A and B are shown apart, each in its own frame.
Chain A
Amino acid sequence: MKKIKYTAKIKRYNPETKESYWQDFEVEVEDSLTVLELLMHIKDKIDASLTFRAFCRSAICGSCAMIINGRAGLACKIQAKDKIKNGVIKIEPLHHLPVVKDLVVDQEPAFEKFKKVKPYLVPDPKVVPDNNKVESLVLPEEFARYDKQTDCILCMACYGQCNALEGDEKYLGPFQLTKVFRFIMDTRDGMDVEERIKLAEDHGIWECVQCQMCLAACPKGVKPGDDILELRRIAKDIGEENIATRRAKFWFATVFETGQIDKWHLPEVAFGDEKGKAVTKKLEEEFRSRGMKEDEFGPKPFPGIEKFRNFIKKLEKEL
């Protein structure tokens, strides 16, 4: 087996001295090691005090999520040799969670938020039989609506790399919101959609910045960012009125009308108050000061817009 030499740059934290620092470990190891095996090698041969959390080694228990070269993932699923950049692989604990020691984080704050969204089935008595002799049937096409979301292994890779948490530490988190979507889609769930959405809104769906980091982080291909868009759609469709739903409705309406979002009137419509009107007014002043004429302020339908509108209608109906 081929051996390779490189540096493992690991972020360490000593809870006794409260000291946090980067430490370089020079290794010469087989090129077939996973990042987890690399950590085990270091612990075994170089520094027994190196601490990390791991269990199954098969990307299913979700224990070993960490940040490798700035990107969250499971140490056991990632080949170390693919991650060597200029002779170095950088490993640090997940962000947004308190570090217990070295690469081990305290998952409890994220689990507390998870509990807040009631991440369990509340059986609908109209659907779920009241005895265990009869099966509660879910058809394949019904299950398909949330099949992917059930692949979540609660590893917290998405949480450890979430930009919305960078802005608000109280933000619920990506996997928590995926779970809300998963239960709303479940035909056996009896909790009111309104109630589930309400749980997802408190420091939740509207704070997401759609940066797509959670999609990149998930070792199972779950797409929390996309689920959040679906939750927003559901919130809008059940009649929620706020800046975001007004923006979404206006966005679609103006794209349908002209092919483009009307960013001139967007503030006025989305904010829906005097403040929004003032923003739109200010935009108008800016346009005029730059010598623009009123017909340049917003989008105009392009030639053949009728065909475009028919296209959208057909997409809605047939796709």
Chain B
Amino acid sequence: MKKIGIYPGCCFQGADIHNYDITTDFLNRMGVEGILLDRAACCGGGVIDETNKKIVYGLNARNIALAEEKGVDLYTPCNTCYMIIAKTKLALDSDPGLKEKINEILAEEGLEYKGTAKIYHTLNLIRDFIGMDTYKSKIQRKFEGVKVAPYYGCHVLTPNEVALDDPENPTVLQEILKPLGVEVVEGYQNEQTCCGYHARFTDPEQKERLAVKPLEGAKEAGADVVATPCPLCHKAMDGYEEPILQVTQLINVACGATPKDAFWDLNKTEVKISFS
């Protein structure tokens, strides 16, 4: 059985604790053993930078080192964790001096950043780690006739150096949605507009103004539901007129879980779609 290190970001905590169950259920159904990186720490969330940006490199070198210690790659479903951890990997792999300094400090915890672990997010995990054929073979039922609007969220496509697909013409999410039997709604208004999540505690009104925009675009294009890989986008955009789910919540149901097992019932905006 393939193994992957599950990085526990803040999206697995408190009111979002069900995201951990969604993630482990998803991995089980894909035939992947998830190994929790239990001493992992916050990626910084783009907020620790406001205290000291150098700490962010150290935190994530340590997070990656924890995966390497267990001999596994690192997987996070969160767009922001993915972007920040992938950025750290790029910085360390291209700067031997920085890597050496951080490794000196890491050594006190018995850890070492080697640079061997790959960084995965749900989208490239399915495409590159699980493989599209295996993924498709696990699907047991389909959402026939359901119109789904893919919403990538920013941090899997920007900045360019960590983008996990062509940022100008991304297709991986559509390719993951199609085998679920859905009708993919593409090219809707504001499909690339940010959900505003990261302004929630800097300027809450800004978040409110942004979150609704892609949803309105998807609704206008006739989508029954929006599908995002990112738990933060989901959190920011749930509660408006148009429903949104995480793509893993759709996949789990397509692979046999009940909607309740996939926590559809926790949505503020009810998802009313049928499956065969």
Contacts and interface: CB of A to CB of B under 8 A. Distances in A.
Interface of A: 69-71, 83, 85-86, 163-164, 166-168, 206-213, 215-216, 226, 229-230, 232-233, 236, 243-245, 247-249, 251-252, 255, 259-261, 263-264, 266-267, 270, 283, 286-287, 292, 296-299, 302-304, 307-308, 310-312, 314-316, 318-319
Contacts of A230: 49, 53
Interface of B: 10, 13-17, 38-42, 44-55, 57-59, 62, 83, 101-102, 105-106, 108-109, 154-155, 158-160, 166-169, 190, 192-194, 196-199, 201-204, 206-207, 209-210, 213
A259 B199 contact: no
B57 A260 contact: no
Contact of A252 (B15, B51, B206): B51
Contact of A255 (B41, B166, B197, B201): B41
Contacts of B15: 263-264, 283, 286-287
A304 B109 contact: yes
Nearest to B236: A209
Contacts of A311: 58, 62, 105-106, 108-109
A166 to B, nearest CB: 5
A245 B202 CA distance: 8
A166 B41 contact: no
A212 B158 contact: yes
Top 8 A-B residue pairs of the complex, sorted by shortest distance between their CB atoms: A163-B194, A315-B58, A259-B41, A244-B202, A69-B168, A212-B158, A248-B50, A247-B201
Chief secondary structure at chain A's binding surface: helix
Given A315-B54, A315-B55, A207 B206 contact: yes
A85 B53 contact: no
A213 B154 contact: yes
Nearest to B49: A229
6 contacts: A209-B198, A212-B159, A216-B167, A264-B14, A316-B52, A319-B101
Nearest to A71: B168
A299 B209 contact: no
A89 B106 CA distance: 47
Given A243-B201, A312-B55, 12 more contacts: A163-B210, A166-B213, A168-B206, A212-B158, A213-B154, A213-B194, A229-B50, A236-B50, A236-B51, A248-B50, A302-B38, A308-B41
A287 B14 contact: yes
B206 A164 contact: yes
Nearest to B166: A85
B10 A260 contact: yes
A216 B160 CA distance: 6
A45 B267 CA distance: 56
A217 B36 CA distance: 36
B202 A296 contact: no
A52 to B, nearest CB: 20
Contact of A69 (B169, B190, B210): B169
B228 to A, nearest CB: 14
Contacts of B197: 209
B237 to A, nearest CB: 13
Nearest to A267: B201
Contacts of A213: 154, 158, 194
Contact of A163 (B101, B154, B167): B154
A210 B50 CA distance: 12
Given A213-B158, A315-B58, A319-B102, A255 B42 contact: yes
Nearest to B204: A243
Contacts of A247: 47, 201-202
Contact of B39 (A226, A243, A304, A319): A304
A296 B44 CA distance: 21
Contacts of B47: 247-248, 251-252, 261
Contacts of A166: 190, 193-194, 210, 213
A283 B17 CA distance: 12
A245 B201 CA distance: 9
Nearest to B11: A263
B6 to A, nearest CB: 14
A243 B202 contact: yes
Q: Which has the most chain A C-beta neighbours within 10 Å: B42, B102, B207? A: B42
A318 B210 CA distance: 39
A83 to B, nearest CB: 7
Given A167-B206, A213-B158, A263 B109 contact: no
Contacts of A163: 154, 193-194, 196, 210
Given A319-B57, A319-B101, A252 B167 contact: no
Given A286-B15, A292-B17, A259 B106 contact: no
Contacts of B194: 163, 166, 209, 211, 213
Given A263-B14, A304-B39, A310-B108, A210 B55 contact: no
A88 to B, nearest CB: 10
Nearest to A264: B14
B85 to A, nearest CB: 14
